[in-house]
């Protein structure tokens, strides 16, 4: 079997209401798919999130290196593509490699006739999950925020995540308090700053929200400030989580070496794909650390299910995406116990509804 063609399809559509985290505002939902065709008629689909022109151009530049390759040779292909002098190491070009690699693993699982999580090890078929919400939005006060987060619990969520970092610390403390009161003491509550703080600010916030028992404090500061993570970890009882903006096993090696971050938010669409994610997972396991991947629930449900140290899946509800119910023929959903199960079909198991997506195609 050989790779015969590689293509990128990019889509974008508006959100009903723009949302914001500690540093960024999002007015659109983006989706990019890398499709890898083979001589056996099997096509793999890789996810590139909201990839833009740089990622698309990188895939196009790498395509000649892929044509004629055996798509099952994921290790060889990864090292063929990741050449840091030219492409890779960190940033958008590594995300492009990630999308290609995910597509290749989709092919591997399809050829094997197995769901991806079973091909990778099948530790469980029900993944603990948290609903990601609590964004800033125009007109969303404490009452609206509390109602939103409580609604996720009513859906069956046993854990929820909210944003901090865009308002003065006192106001964000009030928001955390309101959410804790709304969801009760038994639901896990995560807070995510999206790198909005300096270390001293993160320490101030952490100490003031400790009474509300956050399960973790995610990305309090810039991802490369390893010394800052150490200072924060020494100053609070809240576990730190980070890694959505980290790349490859080398970046996670250095993050782990800080001893400050017990929960790693590796993202297979960022860090180098599934090939690299599984190496990161093994490195984390050797240090008794857990993974709670960031983003793209359709891919990461398989990875969390495959791993003994897969802690939790990030799950985005329909409220943030007007096409959520229709963009895939069979979207994954919360189980009654607040878990999510990977699709029991060969490959990643996500079949894009191209008729629904077609009006929003931009590339």
> Tens of pLDDT along 237-272?
999 999 999 999 999 999 999 999 999 999 999 999
User: Is the CB of residue 99 less than 8 Å from the CB of residue 55?
Assistant: yes
User: Is the CB of residue 153 less than 8 Å from the CB of residue 130?
Assistant: no
**Ramachandran angles phi, psi of 207, nearest 5°:** -65, -35
Q: How high is the pLDDT of residue 95?
A: 94
Per DSSP, the residues of 13-26 read: EEEEEEEE-SS-EE
Q: How high is the pLDDT of residue 53?
A: 84
Contacts of 281 (CB under 8 A, 6+ apart): 266, 291, 303, 307, 309, 310
Strand-pair partners of 6:
36
Q: Is the pLDDT of residue 225 over 70?
A: yes
Q: How high is the pLDDT of residue 50?
A: 64
User: Is the CB of residue 325 less than 8 Å from the CB of residue 312?
Assistant: no
Using CB atoms within 10 Å of the CB of residue 122, give its burial: 0 to 12 exposed, 13 to 18 middle, 19+ buried: middle
Mean pLDDT of the chain: 95
SS3 351: coil
CATH ID of 3-113+354-360, from 3.30.390.10, 3.40.50.720, 3.50.4.10, 2.30.110.10: 3.30.390.10
User: Is the CB of residue 35 less than 8 Å from the CB of residue 58?
Assistant: no
Q: How far apart are CA 324 and CA 84, in angstroms?
A: 36
Residues found in the chain? 363
Q: Is the pLDDT of residue 51 over 90?
A: no
Helix (H) or strand (E) holding 249: helix 248-257
3-state SS string for 180-198: HHHHCCCCEEEEECCCCCC
Q: Where in the chain is the domain with CATH 3.20.20.120?
A: 118-340
* Lookup: tokens for 33: 């798919």
Q: How far apart are CA 129 and CA 148, in angstroms?
A: 17
Q: Where in the chain is the domain with CATH 3.30.390.10?
A: 3-113+354-360
Q: Is the pLDDT of residue 282 over 90?
A: yes
Q: Is the pLDDT of residue 89 over 90?
A: no
CATH topology of domain 118-340: TIM Barrel (3.20.20)
Q: How high is the pLDDT of residue 240?
A: 98
Q: How high is the pLDDT of residue 330?
A: 85
Q: How far apart are CA 256 and CA 227, in angstroms?
A: 12
Mean pLDDT of the region 325-352: 92
CA atoms within 13 A on the CB side of 54: 8
SS3 191: strand
* Lookup: tokens for 179: 């959410």
User: Is the CB of residue 81 less than 8 Å from the CB of residue 63?
Assistant: no
Mean pLDDT of the region 98-116: 98
Mean pLDDT of the region 177-203: 98
Q: How high is the pLDDT of residue 104?
A: 98
Q: How far apart are CA 278 and CA 287, in angstroms?
A: 14
pTM of structure: 0.95
Q: How many CB atoms lie within 10 A of CB 222?
A: 15
Contacts of 26 (CB under 8 A, 6+ apart): 15, 18, 19, 20
């Amino acid at each position: 079997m050989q790779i015969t063609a590689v293509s990128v399809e990019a889509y974008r559509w508006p959100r009903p209401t723009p949302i914001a985290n500690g540093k960024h505002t999002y007015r659109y939902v983006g989706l990019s798919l890398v499709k890898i065709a083979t001589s056996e008629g099997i096509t793999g689909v890789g996810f590139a999130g909201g990839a833009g022109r740089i990622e698309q151009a990188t895939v196009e530049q790498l395509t000649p290196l892929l044509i004629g390759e055996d798509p099952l040779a994921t290790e060889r292909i990864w090292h063929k593509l990741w050449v840091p002098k030219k492409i890779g190491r960190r940033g958008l070009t590594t995300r492009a490699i990630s999308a290609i690699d995910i597509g290749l693993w989709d092919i591997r699982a399809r050829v094997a006739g197995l769901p991806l999580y079973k091909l990778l090890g099948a530790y469980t078929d029900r993944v603990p999950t948290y609903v990601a919400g609590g964004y800033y939005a125009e007109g969303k006060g404490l009452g609206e925020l509390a109602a939103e987060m409580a609604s996720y619990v009513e859906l069956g969520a046993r854990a929820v995540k909210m944003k901090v970092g865009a308002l003065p610390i006192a106001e964000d403390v009030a928001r955390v308090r309101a959410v804790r009161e709304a969801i009760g003491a038994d639901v896990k509550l995560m807070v995510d700053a999206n790198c909005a703080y300096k270390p001293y600010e993160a320490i101030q916030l952490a100490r003031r929200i400790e009474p509300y028992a956050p399960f973790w404090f995610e990305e309090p500061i810039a991802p490369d400030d390893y010394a800052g993570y150490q200072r924060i970890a020494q100053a609070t009882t809240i576990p730190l989580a980070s890694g959505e903006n980290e790349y490859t096993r080398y970046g996670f090696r250095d993050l782990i070496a800080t001893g400050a971050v017990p929960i790693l938010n590796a993202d297979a669409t960022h860090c180098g794909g599934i090939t690299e994610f599984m190496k990161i997972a093994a490195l984390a396991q050797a240090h008794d650390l857990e993974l709670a991947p960031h983003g793209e629930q359709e891919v990461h449900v398989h990875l969390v299910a495959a791993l003994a140290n897969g802690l939790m899946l990030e799950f985005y509800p329909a409220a943030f995406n007007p096409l959520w119910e229709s963009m895939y023929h069979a979207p994954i959903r919360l189980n009654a116990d607040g878990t999510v199960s990977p699709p029991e079909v060969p490959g990643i198991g996500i079949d894009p509804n191209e008729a629904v997506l077609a009006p929003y195609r931009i590339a």
